[in-house]
Structure 1
Amino acid sequence: MTDLSHIRNFSIVAHIDHGKSTLADRLIQMTDTVAERDMKEQMLDAMDIERERGITIKANTVRIDYTAVDGEQYVLNLIDTPGHVDFAYEVSRSMRAVEGSLLVVDSTQGVEAQTLANVYQAIDANHEIVPVLNKIDLPATDCDRVAEQIEDVIGIDASDAIRVSAKTGVGIRETLEAIIHRLPAPTGDRDAPLKAMLVDSWYDAYLGVVVLVRIMDGVLKKGDRVRMMQNGSVHHVDRIGVFRPAMTVVDQLGPGEIGFLTASIKQVRDTKVGDTITHEKRGTDKPLPGFKPSVPVVFCGLFPVDNAEFEDLRDAIEKLALNDASFSYEMETSAALGFGFRCGFLGLLHLEVIRDRIEREYDIDLITTAPSVIYHIYGRDGEVTELHNPADMPDPSTIDHIEEPRIKATILVPDDFLGDVLKLCQDRRGIQMDLTYAGSRAMVVYDLPLNEVVFDFYDRLKSVTKGYASFDYQLLGYRTDNLVKMQVLVNDEPVDALSTMVHRDRAEQRGRAMCEKLKDLIPRHMFKIPIQAAIGGKVIARETLAALRKDVTAKCYGGDVTRKKKLLEKQKAGKKKMRQFGKVEIPQQAFISALKMDS
């Protein structure tokens, strides 16, 4: 058993691409946790999609044995966390399981928006924070400026920040020593009743559900009967172990240790993240304060391109939901797209990752509808309903007012691009809350409608700032605004998959763009097709797709003009009848392209 004073639990937090996973690799390598021949880049990123995109999606944990300079043996539990705002939920959970954080900042780029967001989460969790300046091997490095920035923007003393190059391995030994001397040891009582926090859980085809736990008090042994305090279910522990990144079985876990247990649990739903695990007989009375459940912010419909694959899609979504607590789904049908699912995500990157995983791991071609957010609809009778899909909006005459979600967006941007960023935020109905400077970079805080951010705000922000801006947001709450449902009619038939919620002032511009786009995307038919955007019964934009015509007068050489007129009248009557009964085929590709609205 390891003495409590010789355990250190810490996480690595940073902005995207500042080198968290590379630093974790070097720490693993320096302490010989993994044999040299098994080492690979981004050791802890196990999913294909993580390795391909070069991002971390799941927080991963590893146990490292380290012999300090003074000869003492230490056990370090490291959690490598994601940097993207969509996975901030993973970060907040990991923070609760550890006592300290390494704050990694790129010494060429300085403090970014996500650095702030993640470090505030660490401060909320009462962490001791050690700043690490990474990438000192690059010619553009400027450690003094960045250290000053950390002090100005975040307010942490960075005078003794460790200077590291995670790529070349410079400063790794100093980092390990700092972890031991500057981070606190965990506290806990071996003799108290068992109190373990459920940090994460996922499904393994061979072992059932694997549960990642952090022991606060007491001891967990193989063969114990344990109870989940939230739902009261009792399980028999089959095996206990730690990750060195590979699963390694141990006999018991004591206070302050992080490890896993398996107990033949069939469904991940039975293991609520943030739950407290205790012994069935001599259990603790008070559960640990859990995590706030994750709230999906973006909703969109996922439909199979081939309707025969619906059952496969259901299977794939259920399996993914097992491993991802922050992903929710329910069934829905659409006249244009058939059967599918309405899914909730934490953001657009989360949506893309799930979509890619379904297409890649289960080989199903998908159509995704326009992403939308949840609106609160207040009826005249005082009833409040949540609207997930614009197609389900009730009759406008019964609605008193509609509220939409707002976010507080923090954007860090070099001075040269400030004007463009302010214009972009004003165009998206933003309200400026704050504007401060840290050196030559501005920090802008805006109150923005989430609906405007979901579409392509991040892409636009990156393009107007040449990629130099960084962006982070948190939900503020709901506010009333003048919102309407805009629907698209093709040949006088409403197409529910293209319905969207828009602000009344923007409706005409959005409707016109949608009609022009569809005119190019829908193939021509034998009859002319009107494409209209409407709010309620009022058409606000229209385009007409011309008919394909056969030259019926080709066989008339000379002679009386009435012969030609007669043929043209006959054709006209035929076209009119055709338009009445004709069905317009809208190809799947047209849906996908129409939903990618460019501003």
Structure 2
Amino acid sequence: MNKNKLNFNIRNFCIIAHINHGKSTLSNKIIEYCNNNFYKKNIKSNEPLDNLEIEKKRGITIKSKNITLNFNYKNNLYKFNLIDTPGHADFYSEIIKIINVCNGALLVIDSTKGIQSQTIFNYNLAKDNNLNLIFVINKVDLKLSNTNKIIDDIKNYFNLNEFNYVLCSSKTGYGIDNLVEKIIKFISKPNILLTNNLEIIILDVKFNNYLGIILTVYIKSGYLIKGSKIFNKNNNIFLIIKLLGIFNINNDYIDILNSGDIGWISFTYKKIMNFYIGDTIYNYVNKYEKNNNISNNIESNIYCSLFTKEYNEFNKFEKSIVIFSLSDCSFKYNKEYSNLFGFGFKCGFISLLHMEVVIERLEKEFNLKLIYTFPNIEYKIYTKNNKIINIKNPSDIYKYNIKYISEPISICEIITPNKYMNNIVKLCLDKRGVKINILNYNNDNYKLIYYIPISEIINNFFDDIKSISNGYAYFNYKFSHFEKTKLFIIEIEINNYIINQLTCFVSENNIKSKILYINNKLSELIHRKQFDIVIKILLNKKVVSKKIIKQFRKDVISKCYGGDISRKKKLLDKQKKGKKKIKKNNTLNVKLDEIKSIFYIN
């Protein structure tokens, strides 16, 4: 082992916060401060961590990202592995996958907004993993900043008498020097194990056309150099390390990764392989190795089917899905076949936002044109011959002799300031919620505990909570049980053809709004053709809405100013036959080109 390059002054920490509390901006200021200290020159950071196109477009962090920084402090060189994480609850798996390699966390709180939902979630996650926690009270340069109230709220919310905190402004850089000192003093260094038995934790996986599989890894014990061998249990082969590197301002290649380091590695073998985020890999065959694949512990909440617009692109689509799934441990998929769209995938997502992001990334990063169906959840069907069947596609319901249907129910915890409680209770009842308990959480807040169907949770419930409470309410939920329910099935029929991929379940109190929305959306998106388009909406096989989009009709006899009537009839008959032929040949084109726009109905 090259001990000369071993640095014991390592600090591995993550930055966690509620969305829009200034987490990524703070990361950039820390990067600037450390680089200016180490390189002795002014280096501006232009959002180096949010480098995905969709992150820049939406202004949110989607992937956790690591950067390695060097910092000179009191004649000692320190190495910081800073990990920026998403603020959205929809991407919590990105926090879970890195939390166990960190020794500390910076919990950022906007001094104008205070403690919000993800603040509480992140605090509990950090404490459960025994991280050294530093509260960063951000945006103190703003006029609406109320730092004294924030400090009191931290004491009251989390029952803390003493805690480490820093007042700072990620915009101006105020307090960054104090924050870096606290990182050195109060975040403990990793347990560095000097051994020949290599143990690596996989933090991220991606595929590069030139380098093949690239792993972001944390070296728990041992060390890695070029030519080192590791064993991939999923493919049952030994792999040779070709390149090593770290994520810094220059993305440097390096000669060695030691215990406690975070970096990336690639192999001489360039084909797609099965590596799973959260797994531990070794330089030997470990018979007692446990499977720590994080995706096994993440349940999909909603499902939808993805198809390519062009049938001949399926092989490209399949390869893209496999590559993409390596880097997103909360995305799940299974191959399926549709009579209308051909081969595709039934995909599982955490939330609607997660679904939107995955589809957009697949289309842009892999140059695909996708069609996607209504988002659905998993239901249980109890048949009359006492069988229990799980279904994710509502159109499958007619295959069985049904006794009744059960839907998944979640147990929800909502912590809200007193003044918003009544409106949030009303929202819970509107979403078919059943009260379990309402508790006085502290002097200023109530804790509401409700059973609410997951189908209602995924339908903008979190956005509604934020809207009602101005972002101050904390919301968390988890699956509780399945419960017998009364559901109705909405189907869409176009020109006597039912589109199974548009079939969806709806509860009794949402029937009217759902049908009205679908009807308006279809009328808006399906354009006139050379033939009539008949749109029917069916509720439990009964037609409840019918609309005819009339055909274009060219006046073919406009040139006939006189002459025999038979000439006009001949032209009209020819037009009629032509329209009939067009209708026969273009029905599918109507569905594929124009109906795809309504597959995502909120």
TM-score computed with the length of structure 2 as normaliser: 0.83
- Cα deviations by residue, 1:185-205 (Å, 9 ceiling, x for unpaired): 212431362222122221122
Q: Distance in 2 between matches of 1:150 and 1:265?
A: 51
Partners of 2:152 and 2:273 lie apart in 1 by 46
The corresponding residue for 1:27 is 30
* Larger CA deviation: 437-446 vs 377-386: 437-446
CA distance in 2, matches of 1:402, 1:215: 49
Q: In 1, Cα distance between the equivalents of 2:419 and 2:245?
A: 53
Q: Is the 8 A contact 1:114 1:472 kept in 2?
A: no
Aligned pair 1:407/2:410, yes or no?
yes
Counterpart secondary structure, 1:250: coil
Alpha-carbon distance change, 518 to 261 in structure 1, aligned in 2, over 3 angstroms: closer
When structure 1 is superposed on structure 2, of 79-88 and 329-338 the one drifting more is 329-338
Alignment partner of 1:351 out of 351, 355, 364: 355
Which residue does 1:148 correspond to in 2?
Answer: 152
Instruction: Report Cα offsets for 1:292-331 as digits up to 9, x if no partner.
Output: 5233322112234454554544444344234333323334
For residues 49 and 125 of structure 1, the distance between their equivalents in structure 2, rounded to whole angstroms, comes to 31
Question: How far apart are the structure 2 equivalents of 1:55 and 1:528?
Answer: 41
Does residue 168 (structure 1) correspond to residue 172 (structure 2)? The answer is: yes
Q: Which whole-Å CA distance do the structure 1 matches of 2:549 and 2:59 have between them?
A: 47
Which one of 48, 55, 61 corresponds to residue 43 of structure 1? Answer: 48
**Structure 1 residues 408 and 164: CA distance shift in structure 2, 3 A:** farther
Question: By how many angstroms is 1:113 displaced?
Answer: 0.9
Partner of 1:247: 251
Q: 1:520 and 1:291 mapped to 2: Cα distance?
A: 42
What CA distance in whole angstroms lies between the structure 1 residues aligned with 2:591 and 2:395?
20
Answer with 131-140 or 501-510: which moved more: 501-510
**Residue type of the partner of 2:201?**
M
Deviations 1:551-580 (A, max 9, x none): x9xxxxxxxxxxxxxxxxxx9xx9xxx9xx
* 2:492 aligned with 1:488: yes
- What are the superposed Cα offsets for residues 276-307 of structure 1, whole Å, 9 maximum, x if unpaired? 222227x6955596645233322112234454
Residue 57 (structure 1) aligns with: 62
Q: Report the Cα distance in structure 2 between the residues aligned to 1:383 and 1:512, rounded to whole angstroms.
A: 35
Partner of 1:179: 183
Change (3 A) 1:161 1:17: same
Q: Which moved more, 1:287-296 or 1:353-362?
A: 287-296
| Aligned match of 1:420 | 423
Q: Taking structure 1 as reference, are residues 203 and 72 closer, same or farther at Cα in structure 2, changes over 3 Å only?
A: same
Task: Give runs of aligned pairs for residues 250-269 of structure 1, distance below 5 A.
Answer: 250-267=254-271, 269=273
- Residue 191 of structure 1 aligns with an amino acid whose one-letter code is T
Equivalent AA in structure 2 for residue 426 of structure 1: L
Conserved in 2, the CA contact under 8 Å of 1:25 and 1:43? yes
1:46 Cα shift? 1.9
1:174/1:287 CA distance change after superposition, 3 Å: farther
How far apart are 1:384 and its partner, in Å? 3.6
1:524: Cα distance to partner?
6.7
The corresponding residue for 1:534 is 539
Which residue does 1:564 correspond to in 2? none
Q: Which residue of 1 aligns with 2:195?
A: 191
1:136 to 127, 133, 140: 140
Distance 1:286 1:312 in 2: 34
- SS of residue matched to 1:180: helix
C-alpha contact 2:32 2:45 (8 A) present in aligned 1 = no
Contact 1:488 1:534 in 2 (8 A): no
Match of 2:548 in 1: 545
Question: Residue 3 and residue 516 in structure 1: after superposition, are their counterparts in 2 closer, same or farther (change >3 A)?
Answer: closer
SS of match in other structure, 1:150: helix
Question: What does 1:67-216 correspond to in 2, within 5 Å?
Answer: 67-68=72-73, 70-157=74-161, 160-191=164-195, 193-216=197-220
Q: Distance in 2 between matches of 1:339 and 1:72?
A: 59
Seen in structure 2, the aligned counterparts of structure 1 residues 594 and 61 have a Cα distance that, compared at 3 Å, is: closer
Give 1:74 deviation, angstroms: 1.6
Equivalent pair of 2:117/2:472 in contact (CA under 8 Å): no
Superposed displacement of residue 478, structure 1: 3.5
Instruction: Give the SS at the match of 1:244.
Output: coil
Per the alignment, do residues 22 and 429 of structure 1 end up closer, same or farther by CA in structure 2, a change over 3 Å counting? same
Aligned partner of 2:560 in structure 1 is none
Q: Deviations over 1:225-250 (max 9, x none)?
A: 22235654321122333221443233
Contact kept, 8 Å, 2:383 with 2:400, in 1: the verdict is no
Is 1:429 paired with 2:432?
yes
CA 1:493–1:383 in structure 2 vs 1: closer, same or farther (change >3 Å)? Answer: same
Number of the residue aligned with 1:556: none
Deviation at 1:124, TM superposition (A): 2.0
> d(CA) in 1 for partners of 2:532 and 2:267?
65
Query: Considering only aligned residues, what root-mean-square deviation do their CA atoms show, in Å?
Result: 3.8
**Would the aligned equivalents of 1:455 and 1:597 in 2 still touch at CA under 8 Å?**
no
1:113 and 1:410 in contact (8 A); partners too: no
Alpha-carbon contact 1:194-1:284 (below 8 Å) kept? no
Change (3 A) 1:515 1:145: same
1:85-132 Cα deviation digits (max 9, x unpaired)? 121111001101111111111111111111122222222222121111
Identify if the C-alpha distance between structure 1 residues 252 and 419 changes in structure 2 by more than 3 Å, giving closer, same or farther.
Answer: same
Distance 1:519 1:530 in 2: 9
User: What secondary structure sits across from 2:92 in the alignment?
Assistant: helix
Code of the aligned partner of 2:195 = D
Q: Identical aligned pairs, as a percentage? A: 29
Match of 1:497 among 496, 501, 511: 501
Structure 1, 511-520 or 223-232: larger mean CA deviation: 511-520
Alignment CA distance shift 1:392-1:153 (3 Å)? same
Call closer, same or farther: CA 1:465–1:305 in 2, change over 3 Å.
Answer: farther
Counterpart of 1:17 (choices 20, 37, 54) is 20
- Count residues in correspondence: 575
Question: Deviation per CA, 1:368-419, whole angstroms, max 9, x where unpaired?
Answer: 211111223344444443312222224352x344332333445565655444
Distance 1:450 1:94 in 2: 27
Consecutive unaligned residues of structure 2, counting only runs of 5 or more, are: 556-572
Give 3-state SS (helix, strand or coil) of 2:432's partner.
coil
CA distance in 2 between partners of 1:265 and 1:246 (Å): 25
Q: Which moved more, 1:217-226 or 1:73-82?
A: 217-226
Distance 1:494 1:587, change over 3 A: closer
Distance (Å, rounded) in 1 between the aligned partners of 2:131 and 2:82: 14
Cα 1:480/1:71, change in 2 over 3 Å: farther
Question: 3-state SS of the aligned residue for 1:356?
Answer: helix
Secondary structure at the counterpart of residue 302 of structure 1: strand
Structure 2: how far apart are the matches of 1:265 and 1:377?
A: 46
Provide the rounded CA distance (Å) in 1 between the counterparts of 2:437 and 2:371: 39
**Distance change (3 Å), C-alpha of 1:181 and 1:16:** same
Aligned twin of 1:449? 453
Distance 1:549 1:193 in 2: 75
Distance 1:337 1:290 in 2: 32
Equivalent-residue separation in structure 1 for 2:170 and 2:437 (angstroms)? 35
Question: Contact (CA 8 Å) 1:518, 1:590: kept in 2 or not?
Answer: no
SS of 1:114's partner is helix
Q: Choose 86-95 or 589-598, whichever is displaced more.
A: 589-598
Q: Distance in 2 between matches of 1:252 and 1:549?
A: 70
Instruction: Letter of the 1:110 partner, please give it.
Output: G
Compared CA separation, residues 275 and 480, structure 1 to 2 (3 A): same
- Contact 1:512–1:542 (8 Å) recurs in 2: no
Match of 2:564?
none
